[in-house]
Amino acid sequence: MAATLLQTADWLFVIDNLGLLLGGTAVTIALTVASIFLGFVVGFPAGAIEVYGSERASRLVEQVGVVLRGTPLLVIIMILYFGLSVSSSAFVTATIALGLRSAAYQSQIFRGALQSVDDGQLEAARAVAMSRFEAIRHVVVPQALRRSVPGFQNEFTIVLKDTSIAIVIGIGELLTTGQNLYEGGQSTAALEIFLAVSLVYFVLTFATNRSLDRLSDYYAVPEGTT
Amino acid sequence: MTQPLLSIDDLHKSYGSEEVLEGVGLEMDQGDVTVLIGPSGSGKSTLLRCVNRLTEINSGQIALDGQDVTGANTDVNELRKQVGMVFQDFNLFAHLTALENVTLGPKKVLGMDAADAEEAGRTHLEQVGLLEQADSYPAELSGGQKQRVGIARALAMDPELLLFDEPTSALDPELVGEVVEVMRDLAAEGITMLVVSHEMDFARSAASDIVFLDDGEIVEHGPPEQLFQNPTAERTEQFLSRLHAHEETA
């Protein structure tokens, strides 16, 4: 195996095709950003409904979440693409699949964060004559968002790596690009290609987590009793 | 004074089968400082919370300035603009500085622009002696300082009536004095205050009325000198002697 790793020609092949891999990386990033965004736009209100909504609404949201979280992503993608044909675009379909699945998880991150804010905060906001909505928006949500960063970092990492599952519907994301390279003839470079692909995933994950740490530090407020 | 600022009549409140308030009546004129005392579980805090409708009543009437407080058509947010509240556990907004805590209500609820709200907010912080802590977060303040910010936050809405729910009971003994001093200043300025507290020092020196509540009923109501020196009801006397005993050992 050690010998295989030292195949200079195979590494040169990877370097020669770096442009293609970077193109795949761009698609991966786009798919991740779109999915996380959709997941946030749907997941945040879903989490809020679970905490503040009527009993019926919160039960409905919870049940949809249970189904989404209980279905393998690969199955969700296949149902949406081959079963329901929600879009002729594989990219759009993958975004919806990853986004909805992420929404189901993000809703739980935000639900927990909202519930962790002391009830006295909401009560004090109501006592200065804010409506329930204003109190939640100006007092509870800003605190909950700060507390949801660690959970969100996890979710981001998962979505980023799970974009690779979109390979099954033929999107030219990072893993697909790597796979095509190796199937295109230079089969001895398989290990080098997939190592390079892994490195890209790692760098993206690491860089984003660090950025979110920075963001979290920037908005941090001293902790303690209020 | 044609009508009282606050009038409470035959107020009943139950939690399940547990009746907490059993027909309470109380009137306050503008500038009155009424202190509610009574054993734990007597319904003091519940009574206070009914006035700004953090707790909903079962039956009875509450009127503020002649306006019905508890009616179905009453705009609860309009009511709360008139009634400030100071909490036992402070409940300062954790993500905001002292100044932002004070200005949030005026900005979001009263629609004041940021500069005016800040200027007024600094005045209120100065009033409670905390101008220098304007940019500190709640977690960076002592308990006494937090409660003084809590008072400034309530004052910033310029309410007609201020409710205090055991404002000093969560404080270390050495921090009680600074909060009592601020409350005494407010009383001297003529701010109408309804206070649940066992701070006898404050009750004796600043209260216009003392109300003794026990088992959901008002047992005795009178000016402090009368109620403390010559309580007419036996229950009041017993409660006060327990309180004195506690104060001496504390």
Q: Which residue has the tokens 């940019």?
A: B135
Output the DSSP codes for chain A. -HHHHT-HHHHHHHHHTHHHHHHHHHHHHHHHHHHHHHHHHHHHHHHHHHHHS-HHHHHHHHHHHHHHHTS-HHHHHHIIIIIS---S-HHHHHHHHHHHHHHHHHHHHHHHHHHHS-HHHHHHHHHTT--HHHHIIIIIHHHHHHHTHHHHHHHHHHHHHHGGGGGGGT--SHHHHHHHHHHTS-GGGHHHHHHHHHHHHHHHHHHHHHHHHHHHHHH----S--
Please indicate whether, in this complex, the C-beta atoms of B91 and A124 are within 8 angstroms of each other: yes
Contacting residues of B for A225, CB less than 8 Å apart: 89-90, 138-139, 146
Distance between the two ends of chain B, CA-based, in angstroms? 42
What's the CA gap between A196 and A182, in Å, rounded? 12
Distance between the two ends of chain A, CA-based, in angstroms? 59
What is the model's pLDDT at position A185? Answer: 67
Is A130 at the interface with chain B, CB within 8 A? yes
Q: Report pTM.
A: 0.90
Confidence of residue B239 (pLDDT cuts 50, 70, 90): very high
Confidence of residue A188 (pLDDT cuts 50, 70, 90): confident
**Domain range summary for chain B, segments of one domain joined by +:** 6-92+162-249
SS3 B39: coil
SS3 B48: helix
Hey, what CATH topology would domain B6-92+162-249 get?
Answer: Rossmann fold (3.40.50)
Exposure of B202 by Cβ count < 10 A (0-12 exposed, 13-18 middle, 19+ buried)?
buried
Angle separating helix axes A90-116 and A149-162, nearest 10 degrees: 160
SS3 B21: strand
**Cβ atoms A127, B84 nearer than 8 A:** yes
Is B138 at the interface with chain A, CB within 8 A? yes
Q: Which of B81, B109, B139 sits opposite A225 (nearest CB)?
A: B139
Please indicate whether, in this complex, the C-beta atoms of A134 and B108 are within 8 angstroms of each other: yes
**Cβ atoms A169, A77 nearer than 8 A:** yes
What is the model's pLDDT at position B244? Answer: 82
Contacting residues of B for A123, CB less than 8 Å apart: 54, 87, 91
Give the nearest chain B residue to A225 (CA atoms). Answer: B139
The yes/no answer to whether this complex scores an ipTM above 0.90 is yes
**Cβ atoms B54, A127 nearer than 8 A:** yes
What is the model's pLDDT at position A5? Answer: 59
Q: Which residue has the tokens 């946030």?
A: A40
CATH class of A2-219: mainly alpha
What is the model's pLDDT at position B72? Answer: 87
pLDDT digits (tens, 9 = 90+) for B39-73: 988 999 999 999 999 999 999 999 999 999 998 88
pLDDT digits (tens, 9 = 90+) for B217-233: 999 999 999 999 999 99
Give A53 to chain B, closest Cα distance, Å: 19
Is A6 at the interface with chain B, CB within 8 A? no
Please indicate whether, in this complex, the C-beta atoms of B93 and A125 are within 8 angstroms of each other: yes
> At residue A144, what is the residue type?
A
Q: Which residue has the tokens 């409670």?
A: B128
**Cβ atoms A5, A191 nearer than 8 A:** yes
- Mean pLDDT on B129-152: 97
